[in-house]
Structure 1
């Protein structure tokens, strides 16, 4: 297309240049007195050293007055046209093809002006040859590049198709190859691999949840069935049956609590609660948590201390945050020494707001800290819980962008909020 456009511009450029010259000749001679036109025309022909101009002045009858053309062409039309002429001043040449224009003078005579097409045609032939010489290798290069790019794209699509087939077949560990300096397709492959890693992790978590539920509920359900069966055999009056029913309901409530906690953790991990976020006053929230657990601490003979500093508000879900703090306080009262002390504090440390819960016990051993946030892990001291408290706290912290931190020494566990997430107090 570019070659054709260039050829059209080159050919039309010569025509426009010739037509401008024709118009100039007509204006010049038409503006001269009648008796000076022939002399001016002859002077114009004398200046044409290349002999490629045709100029002739004819009377009303078509007789030549002055010029180098014997007679006007019969097929003359308005505007410029290409026709055969009979030159009178080109020795050895009786016919020639030229681009011509015929214009009328004020006295009724007619001026024929034109230019020889031999040089123009030769120039166009040079242009055509040049375009063909450049166009042929250009087309070959374009075709070769198209074939290479097409085959490469086909290979890339085929690679993704084979990966999709493998994933559908259950091979979730398959990934796309990514080079050391990836192009746009390599970056796409890297993003797809990241997505597949996330999907594999989610599938593994779902399977793990199913395994955990099956493993953790099997023993309580077996114990519940045995207790009901034994109670039914031993009960011989209404009060006996009521005791069996009450015990069964207690076990069922525990099982329902486990299932509810698992569903809550799953909801938090999916970030389904972010739409409920709003400004939260941490100081008031921690104070509420203290008031909530003070009666329980008094019943257990534990001294609950609350130390609260003024901190800016945070963006989050107040109900989830108080649930996380309550779980930490409950764990401290459960695993701390009987009759000991539990301290709940809120303070600003550098660029972080820190909620810390500490008891007088030894805390979580360093080897168990990566495990205690996993579901159903109870540690060495099984106090009858489901092993989901710290898992729930970890899920809430991750949802808010907080960090769950264990002290290097002692039993202090802290929720750390980076200062960049703090709003105005």
Structure 2
């Protein structure tokens, strides 16, 4: 009992059986309708012919009397030698006057309608099944006209045999079709399951095969592969971030521990303890900033806050943020100018302001005195771009791709001043808005730009 139960629980078996049952039922319904329609058509045709002959013979009787009717029946009997036509004319006592039947059927009253019965054929003496109708004539003669039903019964048997064979063929065809269908479907599902098993085993590089047919399975496979690419990217970023956290936070935490130890040293001077306390507070503030930025990056990467998108006047937002940084820029003898316009677009206003602030802070960190920072706005096919261009030393081309990685600080001298998370947050905000972060050297200077989808 275990094997049949397992077989029935198999989705492929259930799908094949369902396809077979539905196809066979539909074929049986169609063939049944054909059978019934054919039988009714033949029967109606037979009744129409018999009714017409009865009417014609009655006309012969009214014009020529009984003798004329007998002669007409004899002529029709001769003409019907190779056909299935049957005729019988009797007097009121039941004596046969004309026709090719031996006797009047028992229990049949003239005019009783259409009947199916067995009678003896006069020419051969054999019993035949007939379908007939009868009438009573004015002088009480009885007239019966019918057709041999053997041919129709034979046709019924042929039709039934044909229906049976057609059902068997439909059953076999539906079984084959169901098997082919399930093989196609489950082979693609098997690809997905195998890929999923490999990924669960730790091979994040595995992807679902795309066969190039362009069908719905290929479209689903491509969508799942895109999702897997994104998952692999996020996991890679998570691993890199985790490793970076472990590496980059070790130093400030070690320094913080040293400061706290010095505070607990009774031999240290009061002035030293005050200096160590100030440095410890600075280290704590630095760590809090790091964790705050990590939280913001995680929220942006997860898409949290999309429900807070609004119609943002990007030009006004850029003016407000640049005005806030103009005093800082003036202290460094740097001028900030705005070029172009972008209009309005959907976005998270506080995060967009944070992204522009990070870009400006990064540019001001490296902008030489007497230089100009340019905030450029432009509409492009993909949406809008927001760029910050400085006239600083730029970045080595081979390191441009690392700018948006967490905890990456390309200037070792500034490691204590920067956590290396500012541009990583900018890139996360850009992705949250359906865009991307790019950096390119301008020689002199660096252009850092984000593209936002409309």
- In the superposition, relative to structure 1, how do residues 413 and 155 fare at CA in structure 2: closer, same or farther (>3 Å)? closer
Partner SS for 1:315: strand
**DSSP 3-state at the match of 1:223:** helix
Question: Whole-Å Cα distance in 1 between the matches of residues 91 and 156 of structure 2?
Answer: 36
- In the alignment, structure 2 segments of 5+ residues that lack a partner are 1-27
How far did 1:105 drift? 5.3
Q: CA RMSD in A?
A: 3.5
Identify the residue that residue 225 of structure 1 maps to in structure 2: 257
* Cross-structure match for 1:80: 114
- What is the deviation of 1:333? 1.2
- Shift in Å at residue 181 of structure 1? 3.7
Aligned ranges for residues 171-210 of structure 1 at < 5 Å? 171-181=203-213, 184-185=216-217, 187-210=219-242
- Paired position in structure 1 for 2:127: 95
Q: Write the distance in 2 (CA, Å) between the matches of 1:34 and 1:222.
A: 131
Q: In structure 1, list runs of 5 or more residues that go unmatched.
A: none
Moved more, 374-383 or 364-373: 374-383
Kept after mapping to 2: 8 A contact 1:297/1:304: yes
Indicate the residue corresponding to 1:360 in structure 2.
Answer: 391
Label 1:291 to 1:174 Cα distance change in 2 as closer, same or farther (>3 A). Answer: closer
Partner of 1:53: 85
* Alignment map for 1:119-134 (pairs within 5 Å): 119-127=151-159
Which residue is 1:404 aligned to?
A: 437
Which aligned pairs between 1:134-283 and structure 2 lie closer than 5 A?
Answer: 139-150=171-182, 157=189, 160-181=192-213, 184-185=216-217, 187-233=219-265, 243-283=275-315
Kindly tell me the number of residue pairs found equivalent between the two proteins: 416
Greater mean deviation of Cα atoms: 287-296 or 347-356:
347-356
Q: Which of 357, 360, 364 does residue 326 from structure 1 map onto? A: 357
Q: TM-score, normalised by structure 1?
A: 0.82
- Deviation track 1:262-296 (CA, whole Å, cap 9, x = no partner) reads 12112212222222222222221111112111222
1: distance between equivalents of 2:197 and 2:169? 42
**Aligned counterpart, 1:342:** 372
- Aligned partner of 2:426 in structure 1 is 393
Cα distance in 2 between the residues matched to 1:160 and 1:241: 63
Cα pair distance change 1:79/1:207, threshold 3 Å = farther
Q: Does residue 375 in structure 1 map to residue 406 in structure 2?
A: yes
Paired residues of 2:334 and 2:367 also in contact (CA < 8 A)? no
Question: Per the alignment, do residues 286 and 154 of structure 1 end up closer, same or farther by CA in structure 2, a change over 3 Å counting?
Answer: closer
Q: Of 274, 278, 301, which aligns to 2:332? A: 301
SS of aligned partner of 2:132 = strand
- 1:112 counterpart (133, 144, 151): 144
In the aligned structure 2, how far is the partner of 1:378 from the partner of 1:359? 18
**CA, structure 1 residues 355+4, in 2 after alignment: closer, same or farther (shift >3 Å)?**
closer
1:63-74 → structure 2 map (5 Å cutoff): 63-74=95-106
- 8 Å Cα contact 1:100-1:112 kept in structure 2: yes
In the superposition, the TM-score normalised over structure 2's length comes to 0.77
